[in-house]
Structure 1
Amino acid sequence: MSLPHLADPAGRYRAMRLIRSFEELALEWVRSGLIVGGTHPYIGQEAVAVGVCAALDPADRLTSTHRGHGHVLAKGADPARLLAELAGREGGLNRGRGGSMHAADFSLGILGANGIVGAGAPIAVGAAWAARQRGEPTVVASFFGDGALNQGVLLEALNLASIWRTPVVFVCENNGYATTLPAGAAVGGSACGRAAAFGIPAETVDGMDVEAVRAAARRAVERARSGGGPSFLECLTYRFEAHHTMERRFRLSYRTAAEVASWRERDPLVAARADLPGADTIDTEVSQLLARAAVFAQESPVPDPSSAADFLYASGLRPRSGATL
């Protein structure tokens, strides 16, 4: 049983269109000041999130990254509540406390985005191990970028996943850059070579093709669910926008316009939309959905400053009186 909203090409296109339009709206809100602190746009990488999530069941889980809006939306999160979260409002997924880099929805198996590079991988391994101990047929997908390939915590997670044969699908979104550093200048060997060193089956896939990603992810998920252990997917993709919205202010020039343009010619939404009946209707529906989401987010109240110490602990305890936050 896969995620119902991603079960057919129309549903997968709709999810990619939702992610693209949501990110474009978020960029507008950053510029207007409705979102404070900026975001890491996911524009261009939509096929990875949707393709992987299309292979997951509703009870499966995922861990995300600082560039996580696409993963969260693809798994089924409410765009209105995600937008409210980015705007720091009480109606947000995490009552405005998480913001852009820490959105989570445990009810949907979204264990959280993470601002620390590679930090979602050990969480995914732990969650998968715990589910197996409980006898649950749960698979956990762990997203990370090429910048995480040299992080020790990712290598430790790969090692444990291999030893324990945990049902994890490691998804490397290789967009060619770790912030401004080209992957070719930072990664010795290869992404798949990292996994192979731990005996984990690895595959490189076209991350601009949602159906190619879905097919590879299905193989990996089926392997994990049947007890075959972890797999590793390297999805070759590209972000069309800046690493972070602050980048424009600094006028960084580590990519040429020609390079960006050549990748835009492979826009995953254009490919998914081709010959798809009802695509215009889907676009209109998504636009209307986000218009309602914008109203919800703006009408949602900001948190009361007196509640700043709430939710720091899972138990509900508050810091001691007089403690400095």
Structure 2
Amino acid sequence: GVCGGRGGSQHLHWRNFYSNGILGSTLPLATGIALAEKMQGRQTITTVFAGDGALGEGSVYEAFNFASLWGTPLLIVIENNHIAQTTPLALGLAGSIAGRLTAFGIPSCAVSTSDVLEISSTAQALIAEVRHSQRPQALIIDSARFGPHSKSDDTRPVEMIEELRRTRDPLTIHGNRLAVSARQAVDTEIVALVRAAFEQALSDPPAGGAL
């Protein structure tokens, strides 16, 4: 690639999945992508994910404004885990997340569950509405962070994190629906897939910097 493989872990993309290392910057980028798709007459929608910490960035609200003003087919997913790196939500965000979206005329739906099937059902309804109306909608997910933001900078009590792991882990909740043998088969497949990816990366030659 352009940076010879040295772009960092937050500048990745795969097919039509994109990321960016600048906090909150995915919102204006996604708004532009959604508008471009609409102007080209494609019946597609764009989905963008952001955390509660990103709501402290001014560009996020510029994106909300233009997404609503221009009528972009954009589904905004806010993952609210109630802590931005080390700052609790209550110390960094006035008002409510839904209220901020409402101020720009963007309807929102909130879910407070870690059950992937419940989240999927709600998301499917919003996807259908965005596709039909060609206007933005938002899904606010009350989520849980099970570890530090990075390294060992978690300021929460260990007991709180252990409780979240016991009660809110989506892999455990959904995995309990499977037979033990089926779950073991999935785990084995995933371990093999990750191991193969590591082995491939280690055996590949260094990335070049040519365009």
- Report % sequence identity: 35
Question: Aligned equivalents of 1:262 and 1:243: distance in 2?
Answer: 18
**1:301 pairs with 2:202:** no
The alpha carbon displacement at 1:95 in A equals 5.8
Label 1:207 to 1:154 Cα distance change in 2 as closer, same or farther (>3 A): farther
Tell me what 1:244 maps to: 150
* Aligned twin of 2:115: 209
Alignment of 1:153-192 (within 5 A): 153-192=59-98
* Residue correspondence of structure 1 range 54-203 to structure 2 within 5 A: 96-105=5-14, 108-110=15-17, 112-203=18-109
**2:177 aligned partner:** 275
Unpaired segments of 5 or more residues in structure 2? none
- Cα distance in 2 for partners of 1:217, 1:203 equals 9
Q: Quick one: distance in 1 between partners of 2:4 and 2:187? A: 29
- Give the superposition deviation at 1:275: 2.8
TM-score, length basis structure 2:
0.92
Structure 2 residue aligned with 1:4? none
CA distance in 2 between counterparts of 1:157 and 1:207 reads: 27
- Other-structure match for 1:284: 188
Q: Distance in 2 between matches of 1:211 and 1:164?
A: 32
C-alpha contact (below 8 Å) 1:207/1:237 kept by paired residues: yes
CA shift in 2, pair 1:213/1:115, >3 Å: same
Q: 2:165, 2:141 → 1: CA distance? A: 16
Measured at CA, do residues 207 and 144 of structure 1 come closer, stay the same or move farther in structure 2, by a change above 3 Å? Answer: farther
RMSD, aligned α-carbons: 1.7
AA aligned to 2:131 is R
Q: Which amino acid aligns with 1:193?
A: G
What CA deviation, in whole Å up to 9, does each residue of 1:144-170 have, x standing for no partner?
110111211111111111111111011
**Is the contact made by 1:192 and 1:233 (CA closer than 8 Å) also made in structure 2?**
no
SS at match of 1:199: coil
How many residue pairs end up in the alignment? 207
d(CA) in 1 for partners of 2:188, 2:62: 45
Once residues 220 and 158 of structure 1 are traced to their aligned partners in structure 2, the CA distance between those partners, rounded to angstroms, is: 17
The secondary structure found in structure 2 opposite 1:235 is strand
Query: 1:45-95, CA deviations, whole angstroms, 9 ceiling, x for partnerless residues?
Result: xxxxxxxxxxxxxxxxxxxxxxxxxxxxxxxxxxxxxxxxxxxxx8xxx86
- What is residue 261 of structure 1 aligned with on the other side? 162
The one-letter amino acid paired with 2:148 is: A
TM value normalised by structure 1: 0.61
- Alpha-carbon distance in structure 1 between the residues aligned to 2:154 and 2:120: 33
Pairwise CA distance, 1:215: 1.5
Distance 1:253 1:99, change over 3 A: closer
CA distance in 1, matches of 2:193, 2:56: 39
**Structure 1 SS opposite 2:66:** helix
Aligned to 1:234: 140
Q: Does the 8 A contact of 1:118 with 1:153 survive in 2?
A: yes
CA contact (8 A) 1:206 1:212 kept: no
Q: Which runs of 4+ in 1 moved over 3 A?
A: none
- Quickly say closer, same or farther: Cα 1:138–1:98, change in 2 above 3 A: farther
In 2, the alpha carbon distance for the partners of 1:200 and 1:275 equals 35
- Measured after TM superposition, the shift of residue 262 of structure 1 is 1.3
- Contact persistence 2:148–2:154 (CA under 8 A): no
Q: Which has the higher strand share?
A: 2
